[in-house]
C-alpha cells in the first residue's frame, strides 16, 4: 500500500491532461558526484507538450518478469523499478546526466487505465521524435556487441560476424511486442549492452550482409563446406531480430492485417497490446479511414469484436477485388489466437456465427448465379440452333394455328404447313410455352 501511495503522490504532482492534450512526462537524471555504480539514482519529472519538447532520448527495453527490487529517488520519493531498468539507468547516468529521457514504466502511470490509453495512442509520435532511441539489450551482451563494433569490414569474415551476431539475435529483447514499433520508428537508433554501443544502421547492415551471404551463396573457398556457418546463417535469417530490423526500411507502410500476422504472437503482459502496441506502424491512411483507439477499459473479447468488425468494413469495401467470407474466417482465427481467446468466449462465438451466416448466404448467391448463367447459356444455344425458315418462326407458327379453316383449294398448303409444324424442334415449343406466361 505504501508503494502505491508513493506512486500516486508522484503522478498527482505532475498530472497529464487527457482528451486532445499532447502533454507527456520526461525524466531528468540528476548529476551524481559519486564514482561508484551502486550509488542512488536521483531523478525528477517534467510535464511538457509533445510538440514543444526539448531534445530527449526514448528507451526501448524489456521490462522483465522479476519483481521491482530496485529503487530510485524520483522527485525526492523512493520509486520501485525492476533490475533491467535499473541496470540501464546506472549505465546511462555516466553519459546522460542532466538530459531528458522518456521511459514508459516511469513516465506513464501504469495504474491508471485512462492515462495508459491516452499515452499509448501517442507512443508512435514519442518514438518518432526522440533523438536518439536507445535499444537496451541488457548488460550481458557487451562482449559480442563490442566485437562487432570493432569489426569494420562487414563482408570480410562471415564466420566471425555470425558467431557474434547470433547471441545478439537470440536476446529476449527481440521477442517482446512493444519493442517492434520502438525499434522501427526511431530516426536515430543506438544499440546498447553494458558499456558497448552500436548504431542501428550498422546492425541493419550486418544482418543484410549475413542474409545475402546465405540466400545468394556468397561464400569464400574456405566457407563452402562450413556446416556450422550455414546453420548460424539460417538461424539469423529466420530470427525475430532480422524481421524487426528489416521493418525499418518500410516504416508506416504496413497494413494492420500484415502487422498482426507478422508480430501478433510477440510476448507482452497484456494481450490487448498485441493490437495497441503496433498502432504506430500501421499505414496512416488506413488508420484515418478505420481508426483504432486504445482503450484499456475495454475487455479483450470486446476488442476482438471491434477489430474483426473493422476488418469486415475493409473487406466490404474491397469485395469486388476478391474479398470473401472464407478470408474473414481465416482473419478471425488468427485474431483469436493473437488475443489468446477460445471458441467459448462470447465475442468469438458472436463473430463466428456471423461468419457462418455470411458463408451460407454467399453459397446461395453463388448457386443462384451459376444457375442463371447456365440458363442463359442454354437459351443462347437454342436460339442459335433454331431453323431459320419463315414458317418455323414462332410468330408464323402462332399465326398459322390461329387462322380459320381454309378453303378446299388450300388443302395442299394446309398439309404442308401442318407437316412443318409437326417438325418444329421441341426446344422451340419450350420457348413458346415460356412466352405465353
How confident is residue 322, by pLDDT bands cut at 50, 70 and 90?
A: low
How confident is residue 319, by pLDDT bands cut at 50, 70 and 90?
A: confident
What is the model's pLDDT at position 156?
63
Residue 436, pLDDT above cutoff 60: no
Say which range, 236-240, 288-292, 366-370, has the weakest mean pLDDT. Answer: 366-370
Supply the DSSP string of 284-351, one letter for each residue.
HHHHHHS-----TTS-HHHHHHHHHHHHHHHHHHTGGGT--HHHHHHHHHHHHHHTT--TTSHHHHHH
How confident is residue 65, by pLDDT bands cut at 50, 70 and 90?
A: confident
**Cα(99)–Cα(93) distance, integer angstroms:** 9
**Cα(360)–Cα(292) distance, integer angstroms:** 30
What is the model's pLDDT at position 301?
97
Residues 122-134 pLDDT 10s: 999 999 999 999 9
Surface-to-core class of residue 223, CB atoms within 10 Å of its CB (0-12 exposed, 13-18 middle, 19+ buried): middle
Say which range, 266-270, 304-308, 355-359, 369-373, has the weakest mean pLDDT. Answer: 369-373
How confident is residue 95, by pLDDT bands cut at 50, 70 and 90?
A: confident
How confident is residue 256, by pLDDT bands cut at 50, 70 and 90?
A: very high
Grid cell digits, residue 141: 551482451
Residues 67-92 pLDDT 10s: 888 999 999 999 999 999 999 999 99
C-beta of residue 177 within 8 angstroms of C-beta of residue 263: yes
Does pTM top 0.85 for this prediction?
A: no
Residues 263-276 pLDDT 10s: 999 999 999 999 99
How do beta strands 133-136 and 189-193 pair?
A: parallel
Mean pLDDT rounded to a whole number for the chain:
83
Residues 169-185 pLDDT 10s: 999 999 999 999 999 99
Q: What share of the chain is helix, strand, coil (3-state, %, to 5)?
A: 55, 10, 30
What is the model's pLDDT at position 317?
84
How confident is residue 94, by pLDDT bands cut at 50, 70 and 90?
A: confident
Residue 118, pLDDT above cutoff 70: yes
What is the model's pLDDT at position 5?
60
Q: Between 378 and 119, whose confidence is greater?
A: 119
How confident is residue 17, by pLDDT bands cut at 50, 70 and 90?
A: confident
What is the model's pLDDT at position 155?
57
How confident is residue 435, by pLDDT bands cut at 50, 70 and 90?
A: very low
What is the model's pLDDT at position 222?
55
What is the model's pLDDT at position 4?
62
At 194 the three-state DSSP class reads: coil
Q: Report the percentage of the chain scoring pLDDT > 90.
A: 55
What is the model's pLDDT at position 3?
60
How confident is residue 208, by pLDDT bands cut at 50, 70 and 90?
A: confident
Grid cell digits, residue 175: 521477442
Residues 412-422 pLDDT 10s: 444 444 444 44
**From the centroid of its chain, how far is CA 296?**
19
**Cα(267)–Cα(144) distance, integer angstroms:** 25
Q: Between 156 and 248, whose confidence is greater?
A: 248
For the chain, what is the largest distance between any 2 Cα atoms, rounded to a whole number of angstroms? Answer: 135
What is the model's pLDDT at position 309?
95
What is the model's pLDDT at position 79?
94
Amino acid at each position: 500500500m505504501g508503494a502505491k501511495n508513493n506512486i500516486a503522490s508522484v503522478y498527482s504532482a505532475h498530472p497529464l491532461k487527457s482528451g486532445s492534450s499532447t502533454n507527456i512526462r520526461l525524466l531528468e537524471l540528476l548529476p551524481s558526484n559519486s564514482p561508484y555504480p551502486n550509488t542512488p539514482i536521483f531523478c525528477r519529472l517534467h510535464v511538457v507538450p509533445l510538440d514543444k519538447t526539448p531534445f530527449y532520448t526514448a528507451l526501448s527495453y524489456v521490462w522483465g518478469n522479476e519483481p521491482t527490487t530496485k529503487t530510485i529517488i524520483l522527485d525526492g520519493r523512493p520509486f520501485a523499478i525492476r533490475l533491467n531498468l535499473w541496470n540501464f539507468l546506472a549505465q546511462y547516468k555516466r553519459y546522460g546526466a542532466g538530459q531528458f529521457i522518456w521511459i514508459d514504466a516511469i513516465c506513464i502511470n501504469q495504474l491508471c487505465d485512462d492515462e495508459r490509453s491516452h499515452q499509448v495512442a501517442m507512443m508512435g509520435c514519442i518514438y518518432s521524435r526522440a533523438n536518439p532511441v536507445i535499444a537496451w539489450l541488457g548488460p550481458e551482451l557487451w562482449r559480442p556487441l563490442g566485437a562487432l563494433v570493432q569489426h569494420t569490414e562487414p563482408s570480410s569474415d562471415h564466420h566471425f560476424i555470425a558467431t557474434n551476431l547470433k547471441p545478439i539475435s537470440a536476446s529476449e529483447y527481440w521477442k517482446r511486442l512493444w519493442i517492434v514499433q520502438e525499434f522501427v520508428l526511431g530516426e536515430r537508433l543506438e544499440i546498447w549492452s553494458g558499456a558497448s554501443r552500436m548504431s542501428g544502421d550498422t546492425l541493419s547492415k550486418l544482418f543484410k550482409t549475413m542474409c545475402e551471404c546465405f540466400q545468394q551463396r556468397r561464400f569464400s573457398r574456405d566457407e563452402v563446406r562450413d556446416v556450422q556457418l550455414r546453420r548460424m546463417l539460417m538461424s539469423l535469417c529466420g530470427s525475430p531480430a532480422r524481421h524487426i530490423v528489416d521493418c525499418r526500411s518500410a516504416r508506416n507502410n504496413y497494413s494492420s492485417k500484415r502487422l498482426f500476422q507478422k508480430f501478433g504472437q510477440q510476448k507482452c503482459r497484456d494481450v490487448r497490446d498485441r493490437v495497441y502496441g503496433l498502432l504506430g506502424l500501421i499505414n496512416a491512411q488506413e488508420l484515418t479511414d478505420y481508426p483504432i483507439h486504445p482503450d484499456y477499459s475495454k475487455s479483450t473479447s470486446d476488442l476482438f469484436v471491434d477489430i474483426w468488425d473493422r476488418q469486415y468494413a475493409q473487406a466490404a469495401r474491397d469485395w469486388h477485388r476478391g474479398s470473401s467470407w472464407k478470408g474473414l474466417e481465416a482473419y478471425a482465427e488468427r485474431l483469436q489466437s493473437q488475443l489468446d481467446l477460445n471458441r467459448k468466449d462470447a465475442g468469438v462465438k458472436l463473430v463466428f456465427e456471423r461468419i457462418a451466416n455470411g458463408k451460407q448466404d454467399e453459397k446461395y448467391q453463388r448457386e443462384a448465379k451459376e444457375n442463371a448463367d447456365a440458363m442463359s447459356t442454354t437459351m443462347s444455344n437454342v436460339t442459335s440452333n433454331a431453323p431459320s425458315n419463315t414458317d418455323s418462326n414462332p410468330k408464323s407458327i402462332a399465326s398459322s394455328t390461329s387462322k380459320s379453316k381454309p378453303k378446299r383449294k388450300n388443302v395442299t398448303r394446309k398439309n404442308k404447313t401442318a407437316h412443318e409444324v409437326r417438325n418444329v424442334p421441341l426446344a422451340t415449343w419450350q420457348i413458346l410455352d415460356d412466352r405465353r406466361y
